Structure 1
Amino acid sequence: MTIAVSEILLINMEKPGVAFPFIKALVNVNDHFHKLYPDSEFPFHIALMTKNQAQEQHIRNHLNKLGLSQVSIHQDDYSSKPEPKVLYLSEDPGKAEEAIKTALFSDESEIVYKKKGLEAYLKNEDDSEDIPLGEGPLRCFLEALVNMEKKFHAKGLYKNCPVQTFLVTSRDPVISGTRVLKTLKSWGLELTQAFFLSGRPKGPPLSMIQPHIFFDDQKPHIDGALKLGIISAHVPYGIGYETYKDDCEK
Protein backbone atom coordinates (compact mmCIF):
# COMPACT_ATOMS: atom_id res chain seq x y z
CA MET A 1 0.00 0.00 0.00
CA THR A 2 1.38 3.39 -0.99
CA ILE A 3 0.69 6.53 1.03
CA ALA A 4 1.37 9.58 -1.14
CA VAL A 5 1.51 12.89 0.75
CA SER A 6 2.14 16.40 -0.54
CA GLU A 7 5.30 18.14 0.61
CA ILE A 8 3.51 20.95 2.48
CA LEU A 9 1.49 18.46 4.55
CA LEU A 10 4.61 16.59 5.64
CA ILE A 11 7.23 19.38 5.74
CA ASN A 12 5.85 22.89 6.05
CA MET A 13 8.52 25.60 5.98
CA GLU A 14 11.11 22.96 6.97
CA LYS A 15 9.05 22.04 10.04
CA PRO A 16 6.79 19.03 10.59
CA GLY A 17 3.53 19.54 8.70
CA VAL A 18 0.03 18.60 9.84
CA ALA A 19 0.34 15.07 8.43
CA PHE A 20 3.65 14.40 10.20
CA PRO A 21 2.20 12.52 13.24
CA PHE A 22 0.22 10.22 10.93
CA ILE A 23 3.18 9.53 8.63
CA LYS A 24 5.49 9.03 11.62
CA ALA A 25 3.00 6.49 13.02
CA LEU A 26 3.11 4.59 9.70
CA VAL A 27 6.92 4.58 9.82
CA ASN A 28 6.75 3.14 13.34
CA VAL A 29 4.32 0.46 12.12
CA ASN A 30 6.76 -0.42 9.32
CA ASP A 31 9.64 -0.70 11.81
CA HIS A 32 7.61 -2.81 14.25
CA PHE A 33 6.39 -5.06 11.45
CA HIS A 34 9.92 -5.55 10.09
CA LYS A 35 11.16 -6.67 13.52
CA LEU A 36 8.44 -9.34 13.64
CA TYR A 37 8.73 -10.30 9.96
CA PRO A 38 12.37 -9.52 8.99
CA ASP A 39 12.09 -11.21 5.59
CA SER A 40 9.10 -9.11 4.53
CA GLU A 41 8.99 -5.71 2.87
CA PHE A 42 7.57 -2.71 4.67
CA PRO A 43 3.76 -2.87 4.47
CA PHE A 44 3.49 0.85 3.72
CA HIS A 45 5.45 2.64 1.03
CA ILE A 46 5.40 6.34 1.88
CA ALA A 47 5.95 8.78 -0.97
CA LEU A 48 6.45 12.52 -0.58
CA MET A 49 5.11 14.33 -3.63
CA THR A 50 6.95 17.51 -4.54
CA LYS A 51 7.01 20.02 -7.36
CA ASN A 52 10.49 21.05 -6.25
CA GLN A 53 12.51 18.06 -7.42
CA ALA A 54 15.60 20.24 -7.88
CA GLN A 55 15.76 20.51 -4.08
CA GLU A 56 15.52 16.74 -3.57
CA GLN A 57 18.71 16.48 -1.50
CA HIS A 58 17.61 19.40 0.67
CA ILE A 59 14.25 17.70 1.23
CA ARG A 60 15.98 14.38 1.92
CA ASN A 61 18.13 15.97 4.63
CA HIS A 62 15.04 17.31 6.40
CA LEU A 63 13.27 13.96 6.15
CA ASN A 64 16.27 12.24 7.72
CA LYS A 65 16.35 14.79 10.56
CA LEU A 66 12.68 14.06 11.24
CA GLY A 67 13.29 10.31 11.37
CA LEU A 68 11.58 9.73 8.02
CA SER A 69 14.38 8.10 6.06
CA GLN A 70 11.87 5.51 4.76
CA VAL A 71 10.01 8.20 2.83
CA SER A 72 10.78 8.31 -0.88
CA ILE A 73 10.59 11.51 -2.96
CA HIS A 74 8.65 11.73 -6.21
CA GLN A 75 7.43 14.26 -8.71
CA ASP A 76 3.88 15.33 -7.82
CA ASP A 77 1.99 13.21 -10.34
CA TYR A 78 -0.10 10.72 -8.31
CA SER A 79 -3.14 12.90 -8.76
CA SER A 80 -2.97 12.48 -12.52
CA LYS A 81 -2.17 8.76 -12.37
CA PRO A 82 -4.50 7.35 -9.69
CA GLU A 83 -4.02 3.77 -8.58
CA PRO A 84 -6.40 1.69 -6.44
CA LYS A 85 -3.76 1.00 -3.76
CA VAL A 86 -2.63 4.59 -3.31
CA LEU A 87 -3.90 6.85 -0.53
CA TYR A 88 -3.25 10.41 -1.71
CA LEU A 89 -3.12 13.16 0.93
CA SER A 90 -3.11 16.71 -0.39
CA GLU A 91 -4.00 20.19 0.83
CA ASP A 92 -5.53 20.77 -2.61
CA PRO A 93 -9.13 19.42 -2.78
CA GLY A 94 -8.99 19.40 -6.57
CA LYS A 95 -5.97 17.11 -6.65
CA ALA A 96 -7.46 14.82 -4.03
CA GLU A 97 -10.67 14.62 -6.05
CA GLU A 98 -8.76 13.71 -9.21
CA ALA A 99 -6.82 11.01 -7.36
CA ILE A 100 -9.96 9.11 -6.34
CA LYS A 101 -10.34 6.32 -8.84
CA THR A 102 -12.91 4.09 -7.18
CA ALA A 103 -15.31 5.21 -4.79
CA LEU A 104 -14.78 2.54 2.70
CA PHE A 105 -18.59 2.52 1.25
CA SER A 106 -20.20 4.07 -1.81
CA ASP A 107 -22.67 6.92 -1.38
CA GLU A 108 -25.66 4.98 -2.76
CA SER A 109 -27.53 5.18 0.57
CA GLU A 110 -26.64 8.84 1.05
CA ILE A 111 -28.13 9.59 -2.36
CA VAL A 112 -31.46 8.04 -1.29
CA TYR A 113 -31.40 10.09 1.91
CA LYS A 114 -30.56 13.37 0.17
CA LYS A 115 -33.12 12.94 -2.61
CA LYS A 116 -36.01 11.11 -0.90
CA GLY A 117 -35.66 11.78 2.83
CA LEU A 118 -35.17 9.79 6.03
CA GLU A 119 -38.17 7.47 5.70
CA ALA A 120 -37.17 6.33 2.21
CA TYR A 121 -33.56 5.95 3.36
CA LEU A 122 -34.50 3.69 6.29
CA LYS A 123 -36.79 1.60 4.08
CA ASN A 124 -34.02 1.23 1.49
CA GLU A 125 -31.55 0.09 4.15
CA ASP A 126 -34.07 -2.37 5.62
CA ASP A 127 -34.93 -3.79 2.19
CA SER A 128 -31.23 -3.98 1.23
CA GLU A 129 -29.92 -5.32 4.55
CA ASP A 130 -28.38 -8.42 2.94
CA ILE A 131 -27.03 -6.56 -0.10
CA PRO A 132 -23.45 -5.34 0.53
CA LEU A 133 -22.81 -1.65 0.03
CA GLY A 134 -20.61 -0.65 -2.87
CA GLU A 135 -16.95 0.14 -2.27
CA GLY A 136 -15.80 3.60 -1.26
CA PRO A 137 -12.39 5.18 -1.94
CA LEU A 138 -10.91 4.07 1.39
CA ARG A 139 -11.59 0.35 1.15
CA CYS A 140 -8.06 -0.53 -0.05
CA PHE A 141 -6.49 1.48 2.76
CA LEU A 142 -8.77 -0.14 5.33
CA GLU A 143 -7.93 -3.60 3.96
CA ALA A 144 -4.22 -2.84 4.31
CA LEU A 145 -4.71 -1.73 7.92
CA VAL A 146 -6.85 -4.75 8.84
CA ASN A 147 -4.33 -7.12 7.23
CA MET A 148 -1.56 -5.49 9.28
CA GLU A 149 -3.68 -5.85 12.41
CA LYS A 150 -4.09 -9.58 11.72
CA LYS A 151 -0.34 -10.05 11.25
CA PHE A 152 0.41 -8.33 14.55
CA HIS A 153 -2.28 -10.44 16.25
CA ALA A 154 -0.60 -13.56 14.83
CA LYS A 155 2.49 -12.59 16.83
CA GLY A 156 0.45 -12.21 20.03
CA LEU A 157 0.03 -8.43 19.89
CA TYR A 158 -3.57 -7.69 20.75
CA LYS A 159 -3.89 -5.09 23.50
CA ASN A 160 -0.75 -3.26 22.39
CA CYS A 161 -1.27 -3.72 18.67
CA PRO A 162 0.23 -0.70 16.83
CA VAL A 163 -2.61 -0.78 14.29
CA GLN A 164 -6.22 -0.26 15.34
CA THR A 165 -9.19 0.55 13.13
CA PHE A 166 -12.38 2.33 14.16
CA LEU A 167 -15.59 3.07 12.31
CA VAL A 168 -17.44 6.18 13.52
CA THR A 169 -20.69 6.58 11.61
CA SER A 170 -23.88 8.61 11.89
CA ARG A 171 -25.87 5.47 11.03
CA ASP A 172 -28.09 3.86 13.65
CA PRO A 173 -27.05 0.47 15.12
CA VAL A 174 -30.17 -1.43 14.06
CA ILE A 175 -31.38 -0.80 10.51
CA SER A 176 -28.66 0.98 8.54
CA GLY A 177 -25.90 -0.21 10.90
CA THR A 178 -26.74 -3.86 10.29
CA ARG A 179 -26.12 -3.41 6.57
CA VAL A 180 -22.72 -1.86 7.28
CA LEU A 181 -21.67 -4.76 9.52
CA LYS A 182 -22.83 -7.32 6.95
CA THR A 183 -20.94 -5.45 4.23
CA LEU A 184 -17.71 -5.47 6.25
CA LYS A 185 -18.19 -9.20 6.94
CA SER A 186 -18.67 -9.88 3.22
CA TRP A 187 -15.37 -8.08 2.59
CA GLY A 188 -13.64 -10.17 5.29
CA LEU A 189 -12.84 -7.07 7.35
CA GLU A 190 -13.04 -7.04 11.15
CA LEU A 191 -12.47 -3.65 12.80
CA THR A 192 -11.22 -2.93 16.31
CA GLN A 193 -14.49 -1.18 17.19
CA ALA A 194 -17.48 0.47 15.55
CA PHE A 195 -19.55 3.37 16.83
CA PHE A 196 -23.10 3.81 15.49
CA LEU A 197 -24.23 7.24 16.61
CA SER A 198 -27.77 7.56 15.20
CA GLY A 199 -27.04 11.11 14.08
CA ARG A 200 -25.31 12.21 17.30
CA PRO A 201 -22.03 14.21 17.11
CA LYS A 202 -18.86 12.28 16.34
CA GLY A 203 -16.78 14.37 18.75
CA PRO A 204 -17.17 12.24 21.93
CA PRO A 205 -15.99 8.91 20.41
CA LEU A 206 -13.22 10.67 18.47
CA SER A 207 -12.03 12.34 21.69
CA MET A 208 -11.92 8.90 23.32
CA ILE A 209 -10.14 7.19 20.40
CA GLN A 210 -7.66 10.01 19.65
CA PRO A 211 -6.92 8.60 16.17
CA HIS A 212 -3.76 9.42 14.24
CA ILE A 213 -6.08 10.46 11.41
CA PHE A 214 -9.83 10.71 10.84
CA PHE A 215 -11.43 10.43 7.39
CA ASP A 216 -14.93 11.64 6.52
CA ASP A 217 -16.76 12.73 3.39
CA GLN A 218 -18.87 15.29 5.28
CA LYS A 219 -17.15 18.65 5.81
CA PRO A 220 -19.04 19.49 9.06
CA HIS A 221 -17.69 16.28 10.66
CA ILE A 222 -14.17 17.24 9.58
CA ASP A 223 -14.53 20.74 11.00
CA GLY A 224 -15.80 19.31 14.30
CA ALA A 225 -12.85 16.91 14.56
CA LEU A 226 -10.36 19.68 13.78
CA LYS A 227 -11.77 21.75 16.65
CA LEU A 228 -10.84 18.84 18.93
CA GLY A 229 -7.26 18.89 17.62
CA ILE A 230 -7.68 15.65 15.65
CA ILE A 231 -5.85 15.35 12.34
CA SER A 232 -8.61 14.98 9.77
CA ALA A 233 -8.85 14.44 6.03
CA HIS A 234 -11.87 15.36 3.95
CA VAL A 235 -12.67 12.69 1.34
CA PRO A 236 -13.92 14.62 -1.73
CA TYR A 237 -16.36 11.97 -2.89
CA GLY A 238 -20.05 11.42 -3.50
CA ILE A 239 -23.23 13.42 -3.22
CA GLY A 240 -22.19 14.92 0.13
CA TYR A 241 -19.15 16.49 -1.49
CA GLU A 242 -21.14 17.69 -4.48
CA THR A 243 -23.63 19.35 -2.12
CA TYR A 244 -20.75 20.98 -0.24
CA LYS A 245 -19.25 22.32 -3.47
CA ASP A 246 -22.60 23.69 -4.58
CA ASP A 247 -23.06 25.45 -1.23
CA CYS A 248 -19.58 26.99 -1.50
CA GLU A 249 -20.34 28.34 -4.96
CA LYS A 250 -23.54 30.07 -3.86
Structure 2
Amino acid sequence: MPITFDGKLVIATSSSALFDLSESHRIFNEQGLEAYRQYQIEQEDTPLEAGEAFPLVRKLLAINDMVNSNSGVEVILLSRNSADTGLRVFNSIEHWGLPITRAAFSGGKSPYQYVEAFGAHLFLSTNPGDVRAALDLGYAAASIISPSRATTKNLAAELKIAFDGDAVLFSDESEQIYQTQGLAAFTASERAAAKTPMRGGPFKPFLQALHNLQSQFSEESCPIRTALVTARSAPAHERVVRTLRNWNIRIDESLFLGGLDKGAFLKAFGADVFFDDQEGHCVSASEHVAAGHVPHGVANKPQE
Protein backbone atom coordinates (compact mmCIF):
# COMPACT_ATOMS: atom_id res chain seq x y z
CA MET A 1 0.00 0.00 0.00
CA PRO A 2 1.43 3.44 -0.90
CA ILE A 3 1.93 5.91 1.92
CA THR A 4 -0.59 8.77 1.92
CA PHE A 5 -1.36 11.73 4.15
CA ASP A 6 -5.12 11.18 3.95
CA GLY A 7 -6.71 12.24 7.23
CA LYS A 8 -3.69 14.28 8.32
CA LEU A 9 -3.11 18.00 8.64
CA VAL A 10 -0.05 18.65 6.45
CA ILE A 11 2.15 21.68 7.16
CA ALA A 12 5.09 22.71 4.98
CA THR A 13 7.69 25.04 6.44
CA SER A 14 10.81 26.61 4.99
CA SER A 15 14.06 26.04 6.87
CA SER A 16 14.39 29.79 7.49
CA ALA A 17 10.97 29.88 9.14
CA LEU A 18 11.70 26.85 11.31
CA PHE A 19 15.21 27.90 12.34
CA ASP A 20 17.17 31.14 12.71
CA LEU A 21 19.31 31.28 9.58
CA SER A 22 20.08 35.00 9.80
CA GLU A 23 23.85 34.51 10.17
CA SER A 24 23.90 32.05 7.26
CA HIS A 25 21.97 34.50 5.10
CA ARG A 26 24.37 37.29 6.02
CA ILE A 27 27.32 35.20 4.84
CA PHE A 28 25.49 34.31 1.62
CA ASN A 29 24.64 37.96 0.89
CA GLU A 30 28.09 39.31 1.73
CA GLN A 31 30.41 36.53 0.55
CA GLY A 32 28.45 34.43 -1.94
CA LEU A 33 27.29 30.88 -2.42
CA GLU A 34 30.60 29.05 -1.98
CA ALA A 35 31.33 30.78 1.34
CA TYR A 36 27.78 29.98 2.47
CA ARG A 37 28.21 26.34 1.50
CA GLN A 38 31.52 26.06 3.33
CA TYR A 39 30.08 27.75 6.42
CA GLN A 40 27.12 25.37 6.59
CA ILE A 41 29.38 22.34 6.23
CA GLU A 42 31.74 23.61 8.95
CA GLN A 43 28.79 24.31 11.25
CA GLU A 44 26.68 21.26 10.41
CA ASP A 45 27.11 19.77 13.90
CA THR A 46 26.17 23.08 15.55
CA PRO A 47 22.38 23.13 16.10
CA LEU A 48 20.49 26.09 14.72
CA GLU A 49 18.43 28.21 17.08
CA ALA A 50 14.65 28.23 16.86
CA GLY A 51 13.03 30.42 14.20
CA GLU A 52 9.70 32.21 14.17
CA ALA A 53 7.65 29.16 13.14
CA PHE A 54 9.41 26.80 15.57
CA PRO A 55 6.99 27.13 18.54
CA LEU A 56 3.97 26.65 16.27
CA VAL A 57 5.50 23.60 14.56
CA ARG A 58 6.47 22.02 17.87
CA LYS A 59 2.93 22.46 19.24
CA LEU A 60 1.42 21.03 16.07
CA LEU A 61 3.66 17.95 16.23
CA ALA A 62 2.82 17.41 19.91
CA ILE A 63 -0.78 16.72 18.88
CA ASN A 64 0.41 13.43 17.36
CA ASP A 65 0.84 12.06 20.90
CA MET A 66 -2.94 12.40 21.37
CA VAL A 67 -4.26 10.79 18.17
CA ASN A 68 -3.86 7.53 16.25
CA SER A 69 -1.18 7.08 13.60
CA ASN A 70 -3.62 7.51 10.71
CA SER A 71 -4.42 11.09 11.64
CA GLY A 72 -2.64 13.94 13.36
CA VAL A 73 -0.07 16.28 11.84
CA GLU A 74 2.65 15.82 9.22
CA VAL A 75 5.29 18.55 8.92
CA ILE A 76 7.36 18.76 5.72
CA LEU A 77 10.55 20.78 5.31
CA LEU A 78 10.86 22.79 2.09
CA SER A 79 14.24 24.44 1.63
CA ARG A 80 16.22 26.38 -0.96
CA ASN A 81 19.33 24.60 0.34
CA SER A 82 20.90 21.67 -1.44
CA ALA A 83 20.96 18.37 0.41
CA ASP A 84 24.63 19.11 1.09
CA THR A 85 24.11 22.46 2.79
CA GLY A 86 20.80 21.25 4.24
CA LEU A 87 22.42 18.56 6.36
CA ARG A 88 22.78 21.11 9.17
CA VAL A 89 19.02 21.67 9.08
CA PHE A 90 18.27 17.96 9.45
CA ASN A 91 20.86 17.69 12.24
CA SER A 92 19.11 20.58 13.99
CA ILE A 93 15.74 18.86 13.59
CA GLU A 94 17.23 15.79 15.28
CA HIS A 95 18.81 17.93 18.01
CA TRP A 96 15.46 19.51 18.88
CA GLY A 97 13.66 16.17 18.80
CA LEU A 98 11.23 17.16 16.05
CA PRO A 99 9.63 14.18 14.24
CA ILE A 100 10.16 15.65 10.77
CA THR A 101 11.38 13.06 8.28
CA ARG A 102 10.38 14.35 4.84
CA ALA A 103 11.97 17.25 2.99
CA ALA A 104 12.55 18.81 -0.41
CA PHE A 105 15.88 20.60 -0.96
CA SER A 106 15.58 22.63 -4.16
CA GLY A 107 19.22 23.71 -4.60
CA GLY A 108 18.69 27.47 -4.74
CA LYS A 109 15.35 27.41 -6.56
CA SER A 110 12.04 28.26 -4.95
CA PRO A 111 10.56 25.12 -3.34
CA TYR A 112 6.95 26.35 -3.52
CA GLN A 113 5.95 23.83 -6.22
CA TYR A 114 6.40 21.02 -3.70
CA VAL A 115 3.56 22.46 -1.60
CA GLU A 116 1.18 21.00 -4.17
CA ALA A 117 3.11 17.74 -4.56
CA PHE A 118 2.98 17.07 -0.80
CA GLY A 119 -0.65 18.25 -0.58
CA ALA A 120 0.19 20.70 2.21
CA HIS A 121 -2.68 22.58 3.82
CA LEU A 122 -0.35 25.43 4.88
CA PHE A 123 3.05 26.74 3.80
CA LEU A 124 5.07 28.93 6.18
CA SER A 125 8.06 30.86 4.88
CA THR A 126 10.10 34.01 5.33
CA ASN A 127 10.28 34.54 1.57
CA PRO A 128 7.33 36.65 0.31
CA GLY A 129 7.88 35.58 -3.30
CA ASP A 130 7.57 31.89 -2.41
CA VAL A 131 4.45 32.64 -0.38
CA ARG A 132 2.79 34.51 -3.24
CA ALA A 133 3.60 31.67 -5.63
CA ALA A 134 2.01 29.10 -3.30
CA LEU A 135 -1.08 31.30 -2.91
CA ASP A 136 -1.33 31.55 -6.69
CA LEU A 137 -1.48 27.74 -6.78
CA GLY A 138 -4.47 27.92 -4.43
CA TYR A 139 -2.73 26.91 -1.20
CA ALA A 140 -2.76 28.65 2.17
CA ALA A 141 0.59 30.36 2.70
CA ALA A 142 1.98 33.12 4.90
CA SER A 143 5.16 35.10 5.43
CA ILE A 144 6.17 34.97 9.06
CA ILE A 145 6.60 38.46 10.50
CA SER A 146 9.40 38.70 13.04
CA PRO A 147 7.78 39.56 16.38
CA SER A 148 8.88 42.26 18.75
CA ARG A 149 11.50 41.28 21.30
CA ALA A 150 8.89 42.05 23.94
CA THR A 151 6.66 39.30 22.57
CA THR A 152 6.24 36.37 24.92
CA LYS A 153 5.66 32.91 23.50
CA ASN A 154 2.45 31.13 24.49
CA LEU A 155 3.82 28.30 26.62
CA ALA A 156 0.43 26.70 27.34
CA ALA A 157 -0.06 23.24 25.85
CA GLU A 158 -3.17 24.33 23.95
CA LEU A 159 -2.51 25.44 20.36
CA LYS A 160 -4.32 28.69 19.51
CA ILE A 161 -4.62 29.93 15.92
CA ALA A 162 -6.34 33.18 14.95
CA PHE A 163 -7.52 34.27 11.51
CA ASP A 164 -8.65 37.46 9.84
CA GLY A 165 -11.79 37.01 7.75
CA ASP A 166 -11.92 38.75 4.36
CA ALA A 167 -9.19 37.67 1.90
CA VAL A 168 -7.99 35.01 4.37
CA LEU A 169 -10.79 32.66 5.41
CA PHE A 170 -13.23 34.27 2.98
CA SER A 171 -12.79 35.60 -0.54
CA ASP A 172 -11.97 39.28 -0.95
CA GLU A 173 -15.22 40.13 -2.78
CA SER A 174 -16.54 42.12 0.20
CA GLU A 175 -13.16 43.73 0.80
CA GLN A 176 -13.16 44.94 -2.80
CA ILE A 177 -16.40 46.82 -2.17
CA TYR A 178 -14.98 48.35 1.01
CA GLN A 179 -11.74 49.40 -0.72
CA THR A 180 -13.42 50.90 -3.78
CA GLN A 181 -16.73 52.24 -2.44
CA GLY A 182 -16.25 52.77 1.29
CA LEU A 183 -17.74 51.57 4.56
CA ALA A 184 -21.35 52.56 3.88
CA ALA A 185 -21.46 50.61 0.61
CA PHE A 186 -19.76 47.63 2.26
CA THR A 187 -22.27 47.61 5.13
CA ALA A 188 -25.25 47.90 2.77
CA SER A 189 -23.90 45.10 0.57
CA GLU A 190 -23.29 42.76 3.51
CA ARG A 191 -26.73 43.43 4.96
CA ALA A 192 -28.35 42.66 1.59
CA ALA A 193 -26.29 39.46 1.19
CA ALA A 194 -26.53 38.36 4.84
CA LYS A 195 -28.06 34.99 3.95
CA THR A 196 -25.72 34.35 0.99
CA PRO A 197 -22.59 32.41 2.03
CA MET A 198 -19.28 33.92 1.00
CA ARG A 199 -16.85 32.07 -1.21
CA GLY A 200 -13.87 30.56 0.51
CA GLY A 201 -10.53 32.34 0.73
CA PRO A 202 -7.08 30.74 0.58
CA PHE A 203 -7.20 29.58 4.21
CA LYS A 204 -10.56 27.81 4.06
CA PRO A 205 -9.01 24.36 3.30
CA PHE A 206 -6.54 24.83 6.16
CA LEU A 207 -9.37 25.78 8.53
CA GLN A 208 -11.35 22.74 7.32
CA ALA A 209 -8.38 20.45 8.00
CA LEU A 210 -7.97 22.01 11.46
CA HIS A 211 -11.68 21.47 12.11
CA ASN A 212 -11.38 17.82 11.05
CA LEU A 213 -8.51 17.38 13.49
CA GLN A 214 -10.47 19.11 16.26
CA SER A 215 -13.41 16.78 15.60
CA GLN A 216 -11.35 13.86 16.91
CA PHE A 217 -11.57 15.35 20.38
CA SER A 218 -14.38 16.43 22.65
CA GLU A 219 -14.65 20.20 22.99
CA GLU A 220 -13.43 19.89 26.60
CA SER A 221 -10.29 17.94 25.70
CA CYS A 222 -9.40 19.48 22.32
CA PRO A 223 -5.78 20.76 22.24
CA ILE A 224 -6.57 23.21 19.39
CA ARG A 225 -8.56 26.42 19.69
CA THR A 226 -9.37 28.77 16.82
CA ALA A 227 -10.52 32.37 16.66
CA LEU A 228 -11.82 34.73 14.00
CA VAL A 229 -10.51 38.24 14.67
CA THR A 230 -12.09 40.65 12.20
CA ALA A 231 -12.59 44.37 11.74
CA ARG A 232 -16.22 43.65 10.87
CA SER A 233 -18.99 44.63 13.26
CA ALA A 234 -22.79 44.39 13.29
CA PRO A 235 -24.62 44.18 10.92
CA ALA A 236 -21.81 42.72 8.77
CA HIS A 237 -21.31 39.93 11.32
CA GLU A 238 -24.40 37.97 10.22
CA ARG A 239 -22.98 36.89 6.87
CA VAL A 240 -19.86 35.58 8.60
CA VAL A 241 -21.87 33.48 11.04
CA ARG A 242 -24.09 32.06 8.30
CA THR A 243 -21.12 31.35 6.03
CA LEU A 244 -19.31 29.27 8.68
CA ARG A 245 -22.58 27.50 9.45
CA ASN A 246 -22.99 26.71 5.74
CA TRP A 247 -19.44 25.33 5.62
CA ASN A 248 -20.14 23.24 8.76
CA ILE A 249 -16.90 24.51 10.27
CA ARG A 250 -16.49 25.37 13.94
CA ILE A 251 -14.72 28.53 15.06
CA ASP A 252 -14.25 28.53 18.82
CA GLU A 253 -14.13 32.29 19.35
CA SER A 254 -15.25 35.19 17.13
CA LEU A 255 -14.22 38.79 17.75
CA PHE A 256 -16.02 41.49 15.76
CA LEU A 257 -13.92 44.56 16.53
CA GLY A 258 -15.38 47.25 14.28
CA GLY A 259 -11.96 48.61 13.34
CA LEU A 260 -10.31 48.43 16.78
CA ASP A 261 -6.64 47.46 16.86
CA LYS A 262 -6.39 43.68 16.99
CA GLY A 263 -3.16 43.32 18.97
CA ALA A 264 -4.53 43.51 22.52
CA PHE A 265 -7.32 41.07 21.67
CA LEU A 266 -4.87 38.58 20.14
CA LYS A 267 -2.77 38.83 23.28
CA ALA A 268 -5.87 38.21 25.41
CA PHE A 269 -6.75 35.17 23.27
CA GLY A 270 -3.17 33.91 23.63
CA ALA A 271 -2.67 33.25 19.91
CA ASP A 272 0.33 31.22 18.83
CA VAL A 273 -0.06 32.78 15.39
CA PHE A 274 -2.41 35.23 13.64
CA PHE A 275 -2.98 35.25 9.87
CA ASP A 276 -4.03 38.52 8.15
CA ASP A 277 -3.93 39.80 4.59
CA GLN A 278 -2.75 43.31 5.54
CA GLU A 279 0.92 43.60 6.40
CA GLY A 280 0.34 46.62 8.63
CA HIS A 281 -2.05 44.60 10.79
CA CYS A 282 0.52 41.80 11.00
CA VAL A 283 3.30 44.16 12.07
CA SER A 284 1.00 45.63 14.74
CA ALA A 285 -0.09 42.18 15.91
CA SER A 286 3.53 41.00 16.11
CA GLU A 287 4.02 43.33 19.07
CA HIS A 288 1.97 40.74 20.98
CA VAL A 289 1.93 37.43 19.05
CA ALA A 290 3.57 35.75 16.07
CA ALA A 291 1.93 36.84 12.81
CA GLY A 292 1.71 35.53 9.28
CA HIS A 293 1.14 37.92 6.37
CA VAL A 294 -1.12 36.49 3.66
CA PRO A 295 -0.35 38.59 0.53
CA HIS A 296 -3.67 37.86 -1.13
CA GLY A 297 -6.61 39.92 -2.35
CA VAL A 298 -7.27 43.51 -3.25
CA ALA A 299 -5.27 44.95 -0.35
CA ASN A 300 -2.11 43.38 -1.81
CA LYS A 301 -2.52 44.36 -5.45
CA PRO A 302 0.22 46.70 -6.73
CA GLN A 303 -0.82 50.35 -6.73
CA GLU A 304 -1.27 51.78 -10.20
Q: Report TM bin, short chain.
A: 0.7 to 0.9
Letter matched to residue 226 of structure 1: S
Q: Which residue of structure 2 lines up, in the alignment, with residue 214 of structure 1?
A: 274
Letter matched to residue 92 of structure 1: N
What is the CA–CA distance in structure 2 between the aligned matches of 1:151 and 1:80, rounded to whole Å? 31
The reply to whether residue 171 of structure 1 matches residue 232 of structure 2 is yes
Q: Give the gaps of 5 or more residues in structure 2.
A: 1-8, 22-47, 139-166
| TM-aligned CA deviation for residue 211 of structure 1 | 1.2
| TM-aligned CA deviation for residue 58 of structure 1 | 3.2
Residues 72-83 of structure 1 correspond to what in structure 2 (within 5 A)?
72-76=102-106, 78-80=111-113, 82-83=115-116
* TM-score, length-scaled by structure 2: 0.72
Which secondary structure state, in structure 2, belongs to the residue aligned with residue 15 of structure 1? coil
Q: Which residue of structure 1 lines up, in the alignment, with residue 132 of structure 2?
A: 97
Letter matched to residue 165 of structure 1: T
- The question of whether the paired residues in 1 share the 8 Å contact of 2:12 and 2:115 is answered with no
The reply to whether residue 17 of structure 1 matches residue 77 of structure 2 is no
- The question of whether the paired residues in 1 share the 8 Å contact of 2:263 and 2:287 is answered with no
- The question of whether the paired residues in 1 share the 8 Å contact of 2:79 and 2:111 is answered with no
Residues 36-85 of structure 1 deviation map (CA, whole Å, 9 limit, x = unaligned) = x3xx4243221111122224443222101112123522124552355374
Which secondary structure state, in structure 2, belongs to the residue aligned with residue 95 of structure 1? helix
Letter matched to residue 140 of structure 1: P
Letter matched to residue 161 of structure 1: C
Identity of aligned residues (%): 32
Q: Give the gaps of 5 or more residues in structure 1.
A: none
| TM-aligned CA deviation for residue 9 of structure 1 | 1.0
Corresponding residue to 2:205 among 132, 137, 140: 140
What is the CA–CA distance in structure 2 between the aligned matches of 1:184 and 1:237, rounded to whole Å? 20
Q: Which residue of structure 2 lines up, in the alignment, with residue 108 of structure 1?
A: 173
By relative contact order (CA 8 Å, sep 6+), the higher-ranking structure is 2
The reply to whether residue 238 of structure 1 matches residue 273 of structure 2 is no
What is the CA–CA distance in structure 1 between the aligned matches of 2:204 and 2:213, rounded to whole Å? 14
| TM-aligned CA deviation for residue 164 of structure 1 | 0.7
- The question of whether the paired residues in 2 share the 8 Å contact of 1:170 and 1:198 is answered with yes
What is the CA–CA distance in structure 2 between the aligned matches of 1:97 and 1:23, rounded to whole Å? 21
What is the CA–CA distance in structure 2 between the aligned matches of 1:185 and 1:113, rounded to whole Å? 24
Which secondary structure state, in structure 1, belongs to the residue aligned with residue 286 of structure 2? helix
Corresponding residue to 1:45 among 55, 69, 74: 74
Q: Which residue of structure 1 lines up, in the alignment, with residue 189 of structure 2?
A: 124
Aligned residues: 234
| TM-aligned CA deviation for residue 27 of structure 1 | 0.5
More helix by share: 1
What root-mean-square deviation, in Å, do the aligned CA atoms of Structure 1 and Structure 2 show? 1.9
Corresponding residue to 1:7 among 15, 18, 34: 15
